[in-house]
Amino acid sequence: MKKTSTRLADGRELIYYDLRDDSVREAVDRRPLERTVTTSEVRRDDLLGDRVAIASHRQGRTYHPPADECPLCPSAGERLSEVPDSSYDVVVFENRFPSLAGVSGRCEVVCFTSDHGASFADLGEQQARLVLDAWTDRTSELSHLASVEQVFCFENRGAEIGVTLQHPHGQIYAYPFTTPRTAAMLRQLSAHKQATGGRNLFDDVLERELAGERVVLEADHWVAFVPYAAHWPYEVHLYPRRRVPDLLGLDEAARSEFPKVYLELLRRFDRIFEEEDGGSGAGESPTPYISAWHQAPFGPRAASEGVSRDDFAVHLELFTIRRTSGKLKYLAGSESGMGVFINDVPPERAARRLREVASS
């Protein structure tokens, strides 16, 4: 992998990640952009202790542009985009409309490929590995920023999820605090450790799932399963067999195997509703999903809960909001109002379906 850092016309950082070591990136951003002005701030909810990002400048962000005006495609002639060069493998840049900025954190965009019509599932294993290397490198770099406590790499796919740009891409949020979901995991991790005389919660969960009927896919270094108390109709958690706290801790064997395993999961997600459509998928858009990496925070939060960073297990959570063909799982009163999920699809059935659509 070759990494080349440059600056866009408004001062934002852009980084090319290339498969070839002899790649040269000298293109200059020719757009007449003024420096980005953001209004991002983080406020604390006194009742819940949660943080809320207030970012009114995002109201003006690009919304569903036509393909020939996509800001994530390479620049071509006088059609100038966020990527100055005429081609790229993987590119990462600071979001022009960030939810978090400055002392409130940082937001980056990760373009998985220059092919506008592709999806992550269409990538080859070498390209998917390059994305993993980019996620890992950005996790390392962002973790050293004084304002950053947690790094979150994720992908939203599909208009149903709220995606406003169709080009295959994800994002990275560098939070100046530990997120509520991770804080809850740390509390559970600590309570389990105390209640079991020092056992690790993530290890015990993985051991239980491996012995059950919700395993979707097993490989030498990775295990994918539908969790016992899945929140979403189709939800898969992907764990490395060797517990490490973040992407930086993965060894070469796990990194090499990840692309094959992850691409297979994504392709199964695109097939799970085909049978309900008579096998054709007619009239059904690709399965919308959220794919989210959970990593240990880099700040003092873990220690304050009585555990260490090494007690945490990096893992990926992949889920769709589609519950059956043509129907979405909406967050209604119980979920949105009280945070209590009601799942219409038993996890055992979801796991069985995801095994049925395995590649032949």
Catalytic residues: 169
Encoded tokens for 257: 């195997």
CA distance 350 to 206: 18
Closest CA relative to residue 91, chosen from 200, 211, 182, 1:
1
> Would you give the distance in Å from CA 143 to the centre of its chain?
17
Long-range contacts of 74-83 (CB under 8 A, 24+ apart): 74/114, 75/27, 80/29, 80/30, 80/31, 82/8, 82/14, 82/109, 83/14, 83/111, 83/114
Using the CB atoms, write b or e for 323-332: b if 16+ within 10 Å: beeeeebeee
Find, among 90, 83, 71, 186, the residue nearest to 138 by Cα.
90
User: Computed over its alpha carbons, how large is the radius of gyration of the chain?
Assistant: 21
CB atoms within 10 A of CB 76: 11
3-state SS class at 231: coil
